[in-house]
Structure 1
Amino acid sequence: MSANPFQVEPGPVLSKRSLNRALLERQMLIQRKQMSALEAIEHLVGLQAQAPNPPYIGLWARLADFQQAELSKLIQSRQAVRIALMRSTIHLVSSRDCLALRPLLQPVLERGLRGSYGKHLTAIDQEALSAAGRALVEERPRTFQEISALLAEDERWRDLDPSAIANIVRTHIPLVQVPPRGLWGESGQAAHTSAETWLGTGLSVDCSVDSSIETIIERYLAAFGPATVQDMQAWSGLTKLNGVISLMRPRLRIFRDEHGKEVFDLPDAPLPDPDAPISAKFMAEFDNALLSHADRSRIISEDDRKRVFTINGIIRSTFLIDGFVQGMWKITKERDTATLVIDPFRPLSKKDKTELAAEGVNLLTFAAGEFAVHNIRINEPLS
């Protein structure tokens, strides 16, 4: 029987280590880059940012000579903003990406709203509620508590769950968190206004950013690839991307992973030596390098994922040994002393401990420079 002329030949196989090294190179985690914070934020298509400080740690891990003031200035000058985007989670992105990405990711937010508050949405005029919410936040920035309380004064929404009110507004109005939220070391509740008011322009008007889904996928691959369609969907929250990839196939490289799944990549994207040595690296909470694939085994094992990803949505700070998550870390502060506490999941070699201690000194200098005394404690393995 003759071969089927339309059969797609299986692509070359990429091992887990090959995928790991490619991810780390594109995430700027093999070697720190000489790049501005704004350029890095755009290359990474944003940084997940539920908490204010993790994006600073994430950029410190990736950029040479990065200091907190650089990112704080971007936020204060409105060149970078905090807004719900991929996976309906708060991301720190450039103002250009805010304008371009939010309309394309609107279906993700709407699906999340239906999943969480479906029973509360029946018979609600969401358009009217959102318009009233927009008027409030464009009058002045407001917290979700303020938004819900003020809108509940209207008899139309008096009996609604306050969290449903806030999330309806959050879904239909592109809300950005205004400073001091997002500035290094600042605390307090997030106050919101509309992206249009904050940035002085409407969504999708910045023609210097191509806002097509295909371009988003290309940018994802440049920062997180190679990847399966399922990976792309896990990162973005978008669904039904198989059709888009079918159109893109002629201009993509196609590989297979160790399980036989198709893995797509840009034709000129780097694929480092899978055995290239990588020094120890500290990762921020909520780091997208751990969150942006359906199959996360290229950087963290399933057993370790269960330790790092908590049931209440916290993604703990981790460290990498040979490019893979091997434990967690935190900084405790008492009086004039800051202590970096390192909790390995399994025994570390002397070389690993030496590398962690050396990089730990740099981490403490960056994250706790105001403390007079710095200590590093490596605990016994958790298993």
Structure 2
Amino acid sequence: MTSIEISNIRLNNQQITGSKFETVKDLAGWMGALQAQDYAMSKWALGVRLPGFSDFIVEEAINKGEIIRTHLLRPTWHFASSDDIYWMLELSSPQIKALMKSRLKELELSEAILSKSNAIIENALSGNNHLTREELATLFNTSGIATNDNRLSHIMTHAEMEGIVCSGAVKDKKQTFAILSERVVKTKSFTKEEALAKLARNYFSSHGPATLQDFIWWSGLPVRDARAALEMVKQEFISETIDSEMYYLPNAFSIPKDKTNSIHLLPAFDEFLISYKNRTASLLPENHGKTISKNGIFNPIIVINGKVVGLWKRTVKKDTVIIETDFFQPTNPEIEVLFNEKKEAFGIFLDKKTEYKNKTGT
């Protein structure tokens, strides 16, 4: 199996070249979790995998609690299906709490302060009263709990790890927080072993071909747990050694046989790149620095035939969206036609007319 075959199989398994799902919730369940700290772009991460869906439809699924945005895995913001949120939180939270411990101490967020904060959160949000960060910050400050120096983020993340709070419905175009148990009713518990197996099964089904090191990176699990998770499910997958690395992929997979060009405009922090420790199957080393900044910012990417060939960005206006591109190499007329189709699809997703500028502004 070649690197380009690895990349194109990933495009298939990640539902980018064609989706088998009809709801946002089912897609999120298939993916396991999708990184989502850039809220607007993360909605497109779902939309690009659900052709014909709009930003409005995706946000409705978020507002209804069909998918939940919270801190999981590495940790950072992720979308996950409401069906998976409890067991994924229970699996992720011990590791995330351990990572947070020293920073909480530096910020002087003691157990007593965090307990008081949690009580304020529960009291303020109970009864499906969804509040923004700013509204919660005001309540904390009024109660004598400082929210400066990134303390607010740590207070809220700690409450997420306690299973108290999660994302709420959008209010006045702002993100809110809500009580998790009011958003999602917990119906089933998983043992740690069941949760590990399910996470590994989800990852290698939706993200394969991938290695154990990729899974360790994506999951944020301790190495011992990640190894155990793979051991529990690896008989369900095909394994193949490529360049001395063992890759796992679903038993049912296909490698595209035709030579038709394909192009995709993928959002910042998309799973297609960020979910692998080794990204060389899709990203040439000479383009790495252009695509991923030194401080870990993943830019929106243009993917042609499985390879990252450029960057794009969007500027949203009242009735239009302006798309600007920076291709790493010259394109040909066939690629330009395909690109025009994809940029129009992005405009349709936002229900806006599309305008285009290349790097020189023409």
The answer on whether the counterparts of 1:282 and 1:320 sit within 8 Å (CA) in structure 2 is yes
Q: What pairs with 1:38-187 in structure 2 (closer than 5 Å)?
A: 38-114=25-101, 116-120=103-107, 124-125=111-112, 128-129=115-116, 131-139=118-126, 140-147=129-136, 150-151=139-140, 162-163=151-152, 164-180=154-170, 187=173
Match of 2:356 among 371, 376, 379: 376
Which has the larger Rg? 1
Q: What pairs with 1:216-235 in structure 2 (closer than 5 Å)?
A: 216-235=199-218
AA aligned to 1:243 is A
Deviations 1:82-127 (A, max 9, x none): 1111222222222111123111111232133136445346864476
In structure 1, stretches of 5+ residues that fail to align are 1-13
Match of 2:229 among 230, 244, 248: 244
- SS at 1:87's partner residue? coil
| 1: CA distance, partners of 2:82 / 2:43 | 17
- SS at 1:62's partner residue? coil
Q: Is 1:198 the equivalent of 2:183? A: yes
What is the CA-CA distance between 1:74 and the residue it aligns to?
1.9
The answer on whether the counterparts of 1:17 and 1:274 sit within 8 Å (CA) in structure 2 is no
What is the CA-CA distance between 1:146 and the residue it aligns to?
4.7
AA aligned to 1:265 is L
The answer on whether the counterparts of 1:326 and 1:345 sit within 8 Å (CA) in structure 2 is yes
Equivalent residue, structure 2, for 1:257? 242
What is the CA-CA distance between 1:359 and the residue it aligns to?
2.0
| 1: CA distance, partners of 2:143 / 2:319 | 51
- SS at 2:240's partner residue? strand
What is the CA-CA distance between 1:214 and the residue it aligns to?
0.9
Match of 1:29 among 16, 29, 52: 16
Match of 2:287 among 304, 309, 313: 304
Structure 1 residues 160 and 322: alpha-carbon distance in aligned structure 2, compared to 1, 3 A threshold: closer
Q: TM-score, normalised by structure 2?
A: 0.84
In structure 2, stretches of 5+ residues that fail to align are none
Q: TM-score, normalised by structure 1?
A: 0.80
| 2: CA distance, partners of 1:227 / 1:255 | 10
Equivalent residue, structure 2, for 1:280? 263
Q: Is 1:355 the equivalent of 2:356? A: no
AA aligned to 2:339 is L
Structure 1 residues 276 and 107: alpha-carbon distance in aligned structure 2, compared to 1, 3 A threshold: farther
**Larger mean Cα displacement after TM superposition, 165-174 or 224-233:** 165-174
What is the CA-CA distance between 1:133 and the residue it aligns to?
4.6
- SS at 2:74's partner residue? helix
| 2: CA distance, partners of 1:299 / 1:364 | 26
AA aligned to 1:261 is E
The answer on whether the counterparts of 2:303 and 2:310 sit within 8 Å (CA) in structure 1 is yes
CA RMSD across the alignment: 3.2
